[in-house]
Amino acid sequence: MSNFHSIFHVTLLLLLVIVLQNPRATECHTKGIRPGHSAVGSVIPINRTQAQLSEQQFMRWVKFVGGLKHSVFGIAMNKLFPSHTIHVSKKPGKGGFSSIQSAIDSLPFINLVRVVIKVHAGVYTEKVNIPPLKSFITIEGEGADKTIVEWGDTADKAAPGAKGQLLGTYGSATFAVNSAYFIGKNMTFKNTAPVPANGAVGKQAVALRISGDTAMFIGCKFLGAQDTLYDHLGRHYYKDCYIEGSVDFIFGNALSLFEGCHVHAIAQNVGAVTAQGRSSFLEDTGFSFVHCKVTGSGALYLGRAWGPFSRVVFAYTYMDNIIIPKGWTVFYGQYKCTGPGASFAGRVAWSRELTDQEAKPFISLAYIDGSEWIKSLF
């Protein structure tokens, strides 16, 4: 092979690595937003309350997301259909692998084809990690009630092989996805750590952490207590999923759409559903819950701030009577929700009922570019 061809192939490989390591840099929302002159160095009028300022910032975000232009996901479209299927089973004689992690480890260091890992019914007691360059992986169970992966780490546990270091919330995950274009189907991801006592420190226990872009979960269950689902980074779609926890059990700084999901609280006293971590007005991140259901025990906040610009929208969602009337410790939008917990009576001043036009960008797959990388799956 000539030197030219060798250099060409190495360069092409490096480009693929860069794309897969940072898909948001090349295929995410077109940014385009810049603060106006009044947003930099301006002085807030004395008569403007904090609630008014929060509402103004929130509505800027609503208009920004509504006006985003979306890119074409050529890479994803070419990798949606399986080219390789492998099996995982607890029963001897089924063939394939006996653990999920061993199946993942068998894949190439850089995976560029859609691989479906069929996980047969059973309880898989293991901690699973998918590296950044092993993209295009589908984990498919035989039903969320039949196919379970579980572990019991908490943030205060010592990190293996690191003297004096703790796992932290990030490292406590039972199942961690760091790669792009992941699909999870009909699986339960569980952290077995018990519900922590009020005021307990270091008891965050993540069932699943998703840090890759353009990920999709269908018919899955996420079970835990504090910090169950770490919706860390990227664009994600959750369809017909069940998410259970006590405090901040859906949290992170992703741009995610939850459609037809059941959110269930197991708080002993007071809990919170969401803790969205948007840290800058320029970030197009947030959680949108559409046609969902919120039930459970204890007294529940719909959300509380994890970042200074946290943003969450609930639309067409049923809310049980466990919702604390104030509802939120973070500015948010609500649209045509129902149930005894959906009433605006007693809501905090920074809550807002969105208009039809304002809600439109948040209640469809276009919110996460899904019209391009999700619809082709159905």
Q: Phi, psi at residue 325, to the nearest 5°?
A: -50, -40
Cβ atoms 113, 133 nearer than 8 A: no
**How many angstroms separate the CA atoms of 33 and 36, rounded?**
9
Task: Clarify whether 240 is annotated catalytic.
Answer: no
Contacts of residue 299, defined as CB under 8 A and 6 or more positions apart, other chains included, come to 267, 269, 270, 271, 322, 324
Bridge partner list, 251:
230, 275
What is the maximal distance between C-alpha atoms in the chain? 74
Cβ atoms 361, 29 nearer than 8 A: no
Cβ atoms 214, 192 nearer than 8 A: no
Catalytic residue among 153, 248, 284, 369: 248
Catalytic sites, residue numbers: 248
